[in-house]
A and B are shown apart, each in its own frame.
Chain A
């Protein structure tokens, strides 16, 4: 029998350290739904999703009860919709609404995949699709959108980045009654992964199976406690402690993923071990970094601490699961992390420091609110910087940024729930307009050509 201290450790993780399975995400291929009219295609999508995912909420609830671990979100990801809507230029929203309705009908929290992959070039149907994003995000509730604008292999599509800066501004304008909330459901990627279970960037890649269960596990609180219990350990020992903790929580993800797949009659996909913070006290990635020895997250040393955390989490996770995937690492969404909100309010955590941090963690500039009068070209330039970091370092980077209408530095914005509160961060006022307007493709780095 498992010994007593191990049992109590597991129970304590859930009861006191916010350990949870953040999401069970069902990936569904929509290729079979394409029909001769947009209405018929949309109806096929609706029917397929509501059939495949009809039990996802119940199964998650059952698993949560049986194993005693909360499962916070149930989600669906679908084939990038731009591939499904290609013949129906200008009518993409019909499919978007069907997806949103299907997600609501089965009771999931989010449905992701209103996405386009334009890392090498934007086709005319993808251009039309991207133009539809603001209206879609302002008129749907749980549908999330993403665009991949670069890869290490193909370079970065600067034309798409230029278009997307304007799209983000338009999305916030259309949702200005909700402080630009629409942009919180939209993420721009470089090196997007095809099996990510986390939102807003989840989509079901073209190489994936028909119906797959991917699980995202979280547990910043558990890692925080483990680090806190070792105040005199050197940094190598801290790395070991994080690895062991990551191993334990990933194992739970693997168990839940296998069980969920079996009960939902789907393929068992990947486990994504990402330390995903929530605004709750004790569930912060920022506080882990501070526990490692920083007075405030964002100060000098933050990038090094985050590099250790991210790497240790990956190493522990890889050992624990036969199929680790998704983003796996540490997330740094500012508005969703109590420690980072506090550091931003103190002026210690800045956009420049966040950018440096993204070179060593699993995602990018995430849930950052900036002044509403930030020009579209500056938003595009922030995306280009992030994409360059991702492309050159062979890693995923992302930008989820919200230029909040009518707000400026000193204000803050409340998105509620898991999305939290974001103090408005200053951006540099010097323009990058000419650079963005040049357009073209940023060539892939030499190491992208690996054959």
Chain B
């Protein structure tokens, strides 16, 4: 005798408050980088809290309405009411997947499958990076990829580097624990490098490790899987959770010891802080509080007086771009604070919005142009600044932002850790 009652489950208490907080002001949609350039995406307000009330009433919207959210989380940062807009959207995407109402063709599913799993590609790519890069650079390859799976031929695909490896200088953990004294956890640290560092930018990973070691830390890097953000963004929640469970199992012994976890990729950091605590696995209850963004951690050290500040002057003016997922962490811009500690460094914050790449969004054939449009304010801001000699280059923590900004504006864009490495005199040292 029920039709609707059984189709839709009642509302979780946790979601109710979130939904009620929306007062329909529209700030999220006004700031959404996608809505501003793409008329077919109704925007975060409409597809988030507005549609949520209808979804609870069993109304299904066409899946394409949701597919243009890039998971940049600008809406959540913008919302004056604390509504988890992106989360509502992504959950709806998941529900649709479960309901098997997905209408998009097989071709893009393969592409989204691959983009959701950068690490699979990464593993292949880093086996013989030179070859992979040569192949990826060829226009024919890119055209083929565009035609076969919808990977944009113009998008700035990252090149593969020698895989990031970090050999712990210490003995493995279990041996240490077997020893007489338990080592001081404050002196050890777990580094979560993330896929971009691991497969595409090992050198930056090494720089992070060197800076931490320079500050007296022993750096531990377990064999992590991808943090899961690309999977979530492409709608593969279950696999994202599986990755989280795997990574939490690796983290768990360190978490129990109170050892901090450092992420230099702002998306990985956000996942560890925000998504992992909600996974039902040991370690979940600790991971949020024990994870630090790399610069957030350095700032904590500085606050405690534990940061080595034996900086050499680096006379340079730089523009800083705050990655969307750093903003979402709600810790401000610790990289700017740290860089300003270095004599000679001048930092100008750009504040020109999202770069447009959003992890893998800008790699997609049908979304490449959009990604460029989204980033256009940022690019022109960079170009004008460079022309007017206000700064000489761009720094930003996120690897994706780096390649997109370099691609869109032509400006050299690197991770701010390099400034630190230079100030510490670590650059070039192996």
The answer to whether A and B interact is no
> Which residues from chain A sit less than 8 Å from chain B, CB to CB?
none
> Which residues from chain B sit less than 8 Å from chain A, CB to CB?
none
